Every structure is written in structure tokens, then in C-alpha cells.
Structure 1
Amino acid sequence: MTEFIPYGRQDIGAADIQAVIDVLQSDFLTQGPAVPAFETAVANYCGARHAFAANSATSALHIACLALGVGPGDLVWTSPITFVASANCALYCGATVDFVDIDPRTYNLSVTALAEKLQAAERSGRLPKVVIPVHLCGQSCEMAAIHALSQQYGFKIIEDASHAIGGKYRDQPIGNCRYSDITVFSFHPVKIITTAEGGMALTNNAELAQKLALLRSHGITRDPSQMTHQADGPWYYQQIALGYNYRMTDIQAALGLSQLSRLEQFVKNRHHLAARYDSSLSALPVGIPWQHPDNYSALHLYPITVPDNIRSNVFEGLRAVGIGVNVHYIPVHLQPYYRKLGFQPGDFPEAERYYRAAISLPLYATLTEANQDRVVAALSEQLQ
């Protein structure tokens, strides 16, 4: 039987397995030393002051919104080309969501479209409280320009860097929060490194860090300085906020910490494979991903574009021969739930144009050159 080639997959080695076994044989399966060790390692790697692991990036996005005070009556903007969690996190808080169209080259939130939308929003008196730029495929948005707009118009920034750990923007690690209030990573199995399921929120702001810590774990503190009165004893804790059970287990954190040691090699391998795709596909009638010169992408995904009148046939033809292509993403504003909120086809034309043509080809650190050549050959055949 022909080997199925997925669009993404995890790479679990012997050291990863041993790290998990060590936790399973320890005294702590959760709320032990592995989670803070993982948090410290990621924070140090990225150059951020604080990091808080969560059971998913969705949970991390939710508490990031809450930490920034997002609630009913507030407006949050994000990209329509992303997974629904980037927008849903604001709805969880009772806020209203709107979108900013994408740049046709990077597929990230367009700075030009953002600036124009902000000008109109200022005139109407309805500016966003938070903007969530999404680093699609691992390539950073133009964060310096977005940050400059935030200073002009007074909004906060959450970087949805779910695809982007290991990437760089202007030669600095994505996740350092230089141009944002909070950055969120995902550790889902198809991401750059994995904790099976999991995410993390990073910040340089001590007040936000305190809120993230509370919100992740039921709003409970054991810190006497945060309590309303003197503790009854060493066992004492207080719930001082309405939080959630969004904790990551030590089992997951141990896997993540082990994976982190190979992060740079994973990204290096992805760059090698992406360069091979760039070369191999140059003669085919497809669009290949464009990389902004300010970026060193983590290359979570490799989306190509094909003429929209043949996209379905190409997709189905590749799947039929064992090439596990996918589409990232269906524009969020076209989802039925968001259509009920008033969004319509045509609202964000660049996002819709990209969606009609996009196909994500297999890309992961352990993809062999032989299998990659098979992907290219199959794609070439479908395009004939």
C-alpha cells in the first residue's frame, strides 16, 4: 500500500518518551515542577519575562483577552484567515468581533487595511479594544507597524503566534512581546513542537502576568500579598477572581520541554524542505508562499495557490493518491455561526480570494526528500 503523507505530523523521539516516563514515575503528574520548568525555558528562549502554560492555545487566547479586560461592549479585531479560535476567544468574553482583510502576499493581517479601518473606526467612535494579529504559517505579521498604530489609536495587542514558535521577526525571537502585550503559542501535534495538546501565553507586563496566573487556575491564589486578609494557616488559599481550569499537566510539559531542545533543528529542517518546494514548484502554474524580508518564518505550513476553478479537482486528486493536503483556512467570517452575526461573502475580498485558491502541501520536520518529490510529482500530474 502506498504510504499516506499527511500535511503535518509530530516527531516523538526516545528522549521525549523518556521525559514523559520520568514524570509518570514521579510524585507529580500535574501541578509539579515540570510546568514551571517548561514555562521558564520558553520564556528564556523567546526573551519574555513571564510565561504561562495552558491546556490549549485556545485557552491561552481566552485568558489573554480576559487579562486585558475584554468584556461586553468591547470590540476585538483579528484576521479572517485563521482558525476560529482566534476570533472565538473574544466572543467567550462577551465582546464583539470584527475582521481586517489580509495582505495578498503574506496572507497575514494587512497593515494598510488595518490603518484604513482604524481611521474609519475613529470617525465613528468605535475603535477596537484589542487587535489579534495572526502569524499565519509561522511568518510574523508586520508587528512594528501594528504596534505603532496601537500607540496612535490606543488598542492592545495579542499576537496569535500559534504557528510561530522558533520563528523570528527583525532577527528577534517571536514571543518576546516587544510589539505586543501578550503572545500565544500552540503545541498541538501538527505545530512546530508539541505537548500533545497545549498552549502558552507570554508577557512582559507583571500585572498581566498576575492576571494570567489567576485566570488559568480557578482565580485561586496562595500568595498572602494578594489575599484580602491574613491566611488562616499554611493550607489557606483564596479565590479572588473567576478563573478556569486551564492548567497544563506535568506530563505534557515534560514532553514540551524535551521537544524544545530540538526546536531550532525542526525549523531548520522545515526551511530546507520549503526551499526545495520553492525550487521544484517554480516551473508549475502555482503561487508559492512569499516571505517578508523582516521575517524568519517557523514554516508551520506551506500553502500554494492554484486557479480556483481547478482547486477542488487538484485537492481531491492529491488525496486520492495518498497526499494529505489540506486548506488553511476557511475564512472565519464565512462560517455559519459568524454569518448569523451579520458577516457576508464579499466583506473581506482578499481573504476570500486566497481561500478559493489555497492548498497546504505536506510540510513537517521529518518529511523525507523522497516523499516530498512524490508530492511534487503528484501535484504536477494534477495540473496537467
Structure 2
Amino acid sequence: MIPYGKHTLLEQDIDAVVDVLKNQFLTQGSQVPLFEQELCRYTGAQSAVAVNSGTSGLHIACLAAGVKPGDTVWTVPISFAASANCARYCGASVDFVDIDPHTRNLNVSALVDKLHLAAAEHTLPKVIVVVHFTGSSNDMAAIAAITEPFNITLIEDAAHALGASDPQGHKVGACKYSAMTVLSFHPVKSITSAEGGAVLTNDDELAALLRRYASHGITREPGMLGDEHADEPWFYAQFELGYNYRLSDLHAALGRSQLAHIDEFIARRRALAENYHQALADLPLILPQPDANGAWHLYMVELTAHDRTDVFNALRARGIGVNVHYIPIHWHPYYQQLGFKRGQFPQSEAYYNRALTLPLYPGLSADNQNEVIQQLKEVLV
């Protein structure tokens, strides 16, 4: 089976992990701070806080933004559930903005309309989690300009997008137009630390708060502990109800090694995406928009003349590990229990009903990609 996604590990990656196992601290050693520094150098962000998953990153980003019961967070329906769950972890309500059918990212026109209606009804969100779907950046400059008059905090969910750039040419993660950007290092993402994530920010106060939330709410910073403890090097204090979301040094060592090769990985993903664009152009499919600056985490087509279930099963039977991303968040039973209904976000639902994810990852060989293309053509023609 050719999988839809797969990690790419180099010998250097294995050596980096083994070195930690043999010679270093497994946790709370030097690797996590070094990984954070290198993420900052790569993205241009001032601060990075490494955590044990992208989901943990979204949670503490919402906490740091002050999300609490009585608040509302908006995101898009087409994403993994964590993009909305992070608000629920904080006791807040969730609402959605439909997607643009062409970009499959947040629909800016729909956002404008929803914001003006919410302002009139005094139901504005505290935070908007902006998802860079498949690794293609939203126009964050436009979204920031639209939301600035409403004093809304923007959090970029860039789980798909490390290695991408925005329309203005800034690296995703630079936080030029947002308060925080959340990354994921799950095995099928741009780079992997096996499991892991990070929150990037240019705000020193947010960075300190994120760091405490990721580590039990505890700090050893002398400036927060008071002069009476200046002679007590063992002393620490808990200031918030935090969580054990820290990344281990084993994971950080793997992430550091992978980060050194990210541009090679992204270049390969872009080349594979371009191959698909050219080879599939004449098939009854809606293809993703070309994006020379995207990270191409996923390559999704939309079927226009065939039953998706039939195509999915036929390709799986032929050894092509297609998948579907994503079931609309508001369709999940948990969110239905909160009052959401099918039909509320028609563009997201229309996309989902046609969507099919094709294999794409740096290690996908030319022969394997050609096999995917050939089998897809045989099934569709």
C-alpha cells in the first residue's frame, strides 16, 4: 500500500536521537532550548515554546490569549477537531466561518459578514484560529486588517504549514500579523519529532505565559519569585494552573535534525504537487490551487463525476492509500450536541463530500507517484 503520508527519516536523525540516549538528559536538557532557538531562526519569530503536540500548543495559545468560559473562538469547519477543541478545553464556545471553495482556507468575505453581524449582536469572538489548510497560507495581512478594529486575537494554526510563506513573502511562523502561531511535528507533517509541537510569538509576555502553561504553571524566574528567595536556588513557584505539555529532549533532538533538512523536504513536496497538477489536469477533478510558496502537507482533489466511496474503495483495493481530510468539525457528534447542524456551512460540506487525499510525502518515489496517477486514471476513466 502506498500511504497518503509518511515520515522521512535520515541516518542523521537516528544518530541525533541515539546521542541523546547515550550521552545527554532525556528531558529538560539542552536539546529543547536549542530546538526552540532554531525554530526562531528558521521562521523569524522572536520566541518559540516547544510542546508535546500541536494540540497542546493550541490549548496553551488559547489560554495565553485569555480564553475563558463566556468567550467565543471562531475557526473553520474543515480542519482536524483540535482547531476547535482548544477553545472547549478553556470552557469557551466555538463557532465557525465557512471556507473559500477555491483556496479551501477561511473565506474572507464570509468573515467580514460574520464579524459585522456579531458586532451588532455583541457576540464577537475573543480569538480566531486561522487554519493554513494543506500548508497554503491564508492572507494573514488581510485578515489582520479586517479583525483589528474588533480587538480580536489571531492564532495561526500552522500544523500543516511549516516551510510555507504567506502572500507577502514572510515565513509562516514569523507572526507578522498574529499573536501566536502553532506548529505540529506529527510524523506526516513538514518535519517530525515523532510527536510534538511548538507555539511561536513575538510577544515576550505571551512567551513567558506560554512557557508556564506548558510546564505546570511553574517558574524559576528570579524576577517573579521575590527577593526573599534570592538565596534559595532550589525555589520555584506555581502561578497558573498549568499542564505537563513539555517536549522531551529525545523528541527535540529528532526535530532539530529534521529541521536542518526542511527546505529539501518542502522542495520535494512542491515538485510532487506540480507533477500531480500536470498529470491530472484532464481528469474530472477539481485540483487544489497552485501555490509555489505552500508547504504541501496534503494534496486533495475533489471528484466531480464519480461517487467518492466507490473511488476510495477501488483505489484502496489497488494499493493506493488514499484518505479524506477532513470530516467537517461541526458534523462530529460532540459538536452536534452543542447545537450545530448539517447544512450550516455549505462550502465546507460541499468540499468534504467530494474530497479525496492522494499520497504525497518527500519519500514518494517517481515510480510510486506514477502508479498513483495511473490507478486514479483507470478508476475515473
- TM-score if structure 2 supplies the norm length? 0.98
Distance (Å, rounded) in 2 between the aligned partners of 1:269 and 1:158:
28
TM-fit CA distance, 1:228: 5.0
The one-letter code sitting in structure 2 at the alignment partner of 1:27 is Q
1:354 aligns with 2:351: yes
Distance (Å, rounded) in 2 between the aligned partners of 1:339 and 1:149:
29
Aligned to 2:280: 281
Distance (Å, rounded) in 1 between the aligned partners of 2:134 and 2:181:
16
Q: Deviations over 1:55-106 (max 9, x none)?
A: 0000000000000100000000001000000000000000000000000001
Aligned to 2:327: 330
**How does 1:71-86 map onto structure 2 within 5 Å?**
71-86=68-83
**How does 1:255-334 map onto structure 2 within 5 Å?**
255-291=254-290, 296-307=293-304, 310-334=307-331
The one-letter code sitting in structure 1 at the alignment partner of 2:332 is Q
The one-letter code sitting in structure 2 at the alignment partner of 1:334 is W
Aligned to 1:381: 378
Q: Deviations over 1:250-291 (max 9, x none)?
A: 000000000001100000001111111000001111111013
- TM-score if structure 1 supplies the norm length? 0.97
Contact 1:224/1:230, CA 8 A, preserved across alignment:
no
Structure 1 residue runs of 5 or longer lacking an equivalent are none
Partner residue of 1:187 out of 162, 185, 188: 185
Contact 1:227/1:240, CA 8 A, preserved across alignment:
no
Aligned to 1:175: 173
Aligned to 2:242: 243
Distance (Å, rounded) in 2 between the aligned partners of 1:266 and 1:278:
19
**How does 1:140-219 map onto structure 2 within 5 Å?**
140-169=137-166, 170-219=168-217
Matched residue of 2:228: which SS?
coil
Matched residue of 2:119: which SS?
helix
Matched residue of 2:254: which SS?
helix
Distance (Å, rounded) in 2 between the aligned partners of 1:130 and 1:155:
5
Matched residue of 1:133: which SS?
strand
Q: Deviations over 1:317-361 (max 9, x none)?
A: 111111111101000001110000000011000000000000010
Matched residue of 1:172: which SS?
coil
Distance (Å, rounded) in 1 between the aligned partners of 2:226 and 2:339:
44
Structure 2 residue runs of 5 or longer lacking an equivalent are none
Partner residue of 1:339 out of 333, 336, 341: 336
Matched residue of 2:23: which SS?
coil
Contact 1:76/1:96, CA 8 A, preserved across alignment:
yes
Distance (Å, rounded) in 1 between the aligned partners of 2:158 and 2:204:
21
1:61 aligns with 2:69: no
Contact 1:221/1:237, CA 8 A, preserved across alignment:
yes
Distance (Å, rounded) in 2 between the aligned partners of 1:259 and 1:5:
22
Contact 2:170/2:176, CA 8 A, preserved across alignment:
no
1:14 aligns with 2:11: yes
TM-fit CA distance, 1:230: 2.2
TM-fit CA distance, 1:233: 1.0
Distance (Å, rounded) in 2 between the aligned partners of 1:126 and 1:251:
44
Distance (Å, rounded) in 1 between the aligned partners of 2:157 and 2:199:
10
TM-fit CA distance, 1:307: 2.6
The one-letter code sitting in structure 2 at the alignment partner of 1:56 is S
Aligned to 1:225: 223
The one-letter code sitting in structure 2 at the alignment partner of 1:235 is W
1:105 aligns with 2:82: no
Residues 106 and 36 of structure 1, relative CA distance in 2, 3 Å threshold: same
Distance (Å, rounded) in 1 between the aligned partners of 2:164 and 2:222:
39
Matched residue of 2:286: which SS?
coil
TM-fit CA distance, 1:240: 1.3
Contact 2:284/2:305, CA 8 A, preserved across alignment:
no
Runs of 4+ in 1 over 6 A off after TM superposition: none
Distance (Å, rounded) in 1 between the aligned partners of 2:285 and 2:96:
27
Matched residue of 2:73: which SS?
strand
Contact 1:84/1:332, CA 8 A, preserved across alignment:
yes
Residues 226 and 344 of structure 1, relative CA distance in 2, 3 Å threshold: same
Aligned to 2:2: 5
TM-fit CA distance, 1:241: 1.1
Distance (Å, rounded) in 2 between the aligned partners of 1:181 and 1:228:
29
The one-letter code sitting in structure 1 at the alignment partner of 2:379 is Q
TM-fit CA distance, 1:229: 5.6
Distance (Å, rounded) in 1 between the aligned partners of 2:128 and 2:305:
30
Contact 1:167/1:173, CA 8 A, preserved across alignment:
yes
Matched residue of 1:364: which SS?
coil
TM-fit CA distance, 1:152: 1.6
